[in-house]
């Protein structure tokens, strides 16, 4: 806990223009909401309050005892009183510190538990957010909320709240003690303290500005490191031969940082000079006025009294300085809470219905009933998409890039909800079905394969944690990847690397097919990757997919002719409209969009087709 000159951390006392502009309105509901997080720990908080009060009072005692040590011990030349008072003073200091330890421990405990609660709730909340949220928001921002903002709360609890209380108590006790000794000198003290804390604030401000600048510089350096030392960033740097350029950028930022650090530490040095000089003026003034009073007017003042007053004065600078910063600390804390609460309050776009229908006997009949959809209101992506897929059948969706194929299939497991019309599963609107039932029954092999950094086995088990070795191998055989895995020195325990980057594109795809197969969904969706794979990889994937299409209800976003040929129906999508539909033969003869796709996209496959 920080109760030093600058309040909670040196950064405490000042706000940036941005912060001032974004300062939240502190309303009663907001305060109440903040307090509601503290509520479960109110008993502990009461103990903390008592401990703070006790330790603050005790910490003032030695200053008061100093006076008696001087008067009753030293000046009166009373050895016994001297020793007793010294022991008492030491005991009080020890007591105050021991209580301080208890208080810090409890305080940290409370803060950590509140952070624990907040983090968990935030993680749950973020998980409930829709795909739209994650595609729209910056990943860095999301992580910052989870980490820095919530960590800020910990700081607020361990430092701001407690320092306010302890400072107020210390000040009150010190003032009472001062007035008891001598009211004239006490009044002088009251005038001196604020007078001398203000200039230190000014010095602090300069240093704070430098700290901020160096923080920004630090962010810049982190940015460079993050971008250029990540797997994909490093690849880009290498491929474009930018090592030297990046190195120079890094050196420049690093140099700026060094300059700032030197400046900052020197500003700190001057700051200390100012503080020590100023804080020595106060006691001198008290000695002077006290001396005049003692020698010329009021003989009842003792040397001890004056020493006590000087010691108490020294104890007042810190709390006064901190309390001058309270408003800023308070606003900053509230801003942090507001940012966190904003996240908690974000509407959840895709929710489980109130009375969900459970899929007890799923068949996988899918119907798109005049579906309209957009991501942003000003641009319709799907226009009156209407088709049906009966159990056991398969439909291939083809169309130019960006025509809305992936969007269409994403509506089935409710990654997004339709804007108009409806998507049904076994005749039930997907929005009425229990979300986890729905997603259990729909498996998507996405265009981009995501694997966690772990072993092949761990990645597969993600789909079905209790899968047996046979089930796993069976799925991998079907996905045409078992032989590859078995040939690895570590077999199923082979590490896939960061995001699976140690595997080839084709291997990753087959692995993700195996993963979906393990999940064993009623409806299977393949969003075939557009990225060209070599023909051996393509064949391997093809061999994996073909039997699956024949054996289960499936939707294929197809770029390869052989996949398309396996489908029972082909839908041709263009600009979000189904412009043609039917069998391959009929569509080719139509001479429309499909024919064009056939002539261009499927050209390579077409050659093979005609050869066959």
- Point out which residues bind ligand ATP (CB under 6 A): 135, 375, 381, 399, 401-407, 530
Nearer to ligand ATP, 308 or 381 (CB): 381
3-state secondary structure of 222: helix
Give the single-character DSSP code of 433. Answer: B
* Distance in angstroms (rounded) separating the CA atoms of residues 6 and 243: 43
Tell me the closest approach of the beta carbon of residue 397 to ligand ATP, in angstroms.
8
Nearer to ligand ATP, 135 or 147 (CB): 135
Tell me the closest approach of the beta carbon of residue 574 to ligand ATP, in angstroms.
10
Tell me the closest approach of the beta carbon of residue 403 to ligand ATP, in angstroms.
4
Nearer to ligand ATP, 7 or 404 (CB): 404
Tell me the closest approach of the beta carbon of residue 381 to ligand ATP, in angstroms.
5
3-state secondary structure of 368: strand
Nearer to ligand ATP, 406 or 494 (CB): 406
Tell me the closest approach of the beta carbon of residue 130 to ligand ATP, in angstroms.
10
Nearer to ligand ATP, 417 or 426 (CB): 417
Tell me the closest approach of the beta carbon of residue 573 to ligand ATP, in angstroms.
7
Nearer to ligand ATP, 381 or 463 (CB): 381
Identify the H or E element spanning 404: none
Nearer to ligand ATP, 148 or 600 (CB): 600
Identify the H or E element spanning 336: helix 326-344
Identify the H or E element spanning 419: none
Tell me the closest approach of the beta carbon of residue 101 to ligand ATP, in angstroms.
53
| 180 contacts 16 by C-beta, under 8 angstroms | no
Nearer to ligand ATP, 66 or 410 (CB): 410
Tell me the closest approach of the beta carbon of residue 556 to ligand ATP, in angstroms.
12
Give the single-character DSSP code of 169. Answer: H
Residues contacting residue 598 through CB under 8 Å, at least 6 positions apart: 561, 587, 588, 606
* Distance in angstroms (rounded) separating the CA atoms of residues 70 and 74: 5
Nearer to ligand ATP, 416 or 484 (CB): 416
Tokens of 355: 């009375």
Strand partners, 433: 357
* Distance in angstroms (rounded) separating the CA atoms of residues 194 and 341: 37
Nearer to ligand ATP, 417 or 437 (CB): 417
- Give me the numbers of helices (H) and strands (E) for the chain, helices first please: 24, 10
Sign, CA torsion 36/41/45/47:
positive
* Distance in angstroms (rounded) separating the CA atoms of residues 10 and 207: 9
Tell me the closest approach of the beta carbon of residue 481 to ligand ATP, in angstroms.
23
* Distance in angstroms (rounded) separating the CA atoms of residues 225 and 247: 10
Q: How far is CA 570 from CA 107, 373, 427, 584, 586, in A?
A: 65, 21, 22, 7, 10
Task: Find tokens 């139509």 and name the residue.
Answer: 590
Tell me the closest approach of the beta carbon of residue 108 to ligand ATP, in angstroms.
42
Nearer to ligand ATP, 181 or 405 (CB): 405
Nearer to ligand ATP, 304 or 576 (CB): 576
Q: Are strands 553-557 and 523-527 parallel, antiparallel or unpaired?
A: parallel
Give the single-character DSSP code of 85. Answer: H
Nearer to ligand ATP, 189 or 399 (CB): 399
Strand partners, 425: 366, 428
Task: Find tokens 């408003």 and name the residue.
Answer: 327
Nearer to ligand ATP, 405 or 515 (CB): 405
Strand partners, 394: 554
| 234 contacts 228 by C-beta, under 8 angstroms | yes
Q: How far is CA 120 from CA 6, 34, 88, 149, 499, in A?
A: 33, 16, 48, 14, 25
Tokens of 458: 């761990």
Tokens of 496: 């896939």
Tell me the closest approach of the beta carbon of residue 47 to ligand ATP, in angstroms.
51
Q: Residue 536 burial by CB count (10 A; 0-12/13-18/19+): exposed, middle or buried?
A: exposed
Taking alpha carbons only, the member of 487, 436, 479, 438 closest to residue 460 is 479
Nearer to ligand ATP, 451 or 572 (CB): 572
CA 334 to chain centre: 18
Tell me the closest approach of the beta carbon of residue 530 to ligand ATP, in angstroms.
6
Tell me the closest approach of the beta carbon of residue 9 to ligand ATP, in angstroms.
40
Sign, CA torsion 574/506/548/524:
negative
* Distance in angstroms (rounded) separating the CA atoms of residues 411 and 339: 31
Tell me the closest approach of the beta carbon of residue 376 to ligand ATP, in angstroms.
6
Tell me the closest approach of the beta carbon of residue 443 to ligand ATP, in angstroms.
18
């Amino acid at each position: 806990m920080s109760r030093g000159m600058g309040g909670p951390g040196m950064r405490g006392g000042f706000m940036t223009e941005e912060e001032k502009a974004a300062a939240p309105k502190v309303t009663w509901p907001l305060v109440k909401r903040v307090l509601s997080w503290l509520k479960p720990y109110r008993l502990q908080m009461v103990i903390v309050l008592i401990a703070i009060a006790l330790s603050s009072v005790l910490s003032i005692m030695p200053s008061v005892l100093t006076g008696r040590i001087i008067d009753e011990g030293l000046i009166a030349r009373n050895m016994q009183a001297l020793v007793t008072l010294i022991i008492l003073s030491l005991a009080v200091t020890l007591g105050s510190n021991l209580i301080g330890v208890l208080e810090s421990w409890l305080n940290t405990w409370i803060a950590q538990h509140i952070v624990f609660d907040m983090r968990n709730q935030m993680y749950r909340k973020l998980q409930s957010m829709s795909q739209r949220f994650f595609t729209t928001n910056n990943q860095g921002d999301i992580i910052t909320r989870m980490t820095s903002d919530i960590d800020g709360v910990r700081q607020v609890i361990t430092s701001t709240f407690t320092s306010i209380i302890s400072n107020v108590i210390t000040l009150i006790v010190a003032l009472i003690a001062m007035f008891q000794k001598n009211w004239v000198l006490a009044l002088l003290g009251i005038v001196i303290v604020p007078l001398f804390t203000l200039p230190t604030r000014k010095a602090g401000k300069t240093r704070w500005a430098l700290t901020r600048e160096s923080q920004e510089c630090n962010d810049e350096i982190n940015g460079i490191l993050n971008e250029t030392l990540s797997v994909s960033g490093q690849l880009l740097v290498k491929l474009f031969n930018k090592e030297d350029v990046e190195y120079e950028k890094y050196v420049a930022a690093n140099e700026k940082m060094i300059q700032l650090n030197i400046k900052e530490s020197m500003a700190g040095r001057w700051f200390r000079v100012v503080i020590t000089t100023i804080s020595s003026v106060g006691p001198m003034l008290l000695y002077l006025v006290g001396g005049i009073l003692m020698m010329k007017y009021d003989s009842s003042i003792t040397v001890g009294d004056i020493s006590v007053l000087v010691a108490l004065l020294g104890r007042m600078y810190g709390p006064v300085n901190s309390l001058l910063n309270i408003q800023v600390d308070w606003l900053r804390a509230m801003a942090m809470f507001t940012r966190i609460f904003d996240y908690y309050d974000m509407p959840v776009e895709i929710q489980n219905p109130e009375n969900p229908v459970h899929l007890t006997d799923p068949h996988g009949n899918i119907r798109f009933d005049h579906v309209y959809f957009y991501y942003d209101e000003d641009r319709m992506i799907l226009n009156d998409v209407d088709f049906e897929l009966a159990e056991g059948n398969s439909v291939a969706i083809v169309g130019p890039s960006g025509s809305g194929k992936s969007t269409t299939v994403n509506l089935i497991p409710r990654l997004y909800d339709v804007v108009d019309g409806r998507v049904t599963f076994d005749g039930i609107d997907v929005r009425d079905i229990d979300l986890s039932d729905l997603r259990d029954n729909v498996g998507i092999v996405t265009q981009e394969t995501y694997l966690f950094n772990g072993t092949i086995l761990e990645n597969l088990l993600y789909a079905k944690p209790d899968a047996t070795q046979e089930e796993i191998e069976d799925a991998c055989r079907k996905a045409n990847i078992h032989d590859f895995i078995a040939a690895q020195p570590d077999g199923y325990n082979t590490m896939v690397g960061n995001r699976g980057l140690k595997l080839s594109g084709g291997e990753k795809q087959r692995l993700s097919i195996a993963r979906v197969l393990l999940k064993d969904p009623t409806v299977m969706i393949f969003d075939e990757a557009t990225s060209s794979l070599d023909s051996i990889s393509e064949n391997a994937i093809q061999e994996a997919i073909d039997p699956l299409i024949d054996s289960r209800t499936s939707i294929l976003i197809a770029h390869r002719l052989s996949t398309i040929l396996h489908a029972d129906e082909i839908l041709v999508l263009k600009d979000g409209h189904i412009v043609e539909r039917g069998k391959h033969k009929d569509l080719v003869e139509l001479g429309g969009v499909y024919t064009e796709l056939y002539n261009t996209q499927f050209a390579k496959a077409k050659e093979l087709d005609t050869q066959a």
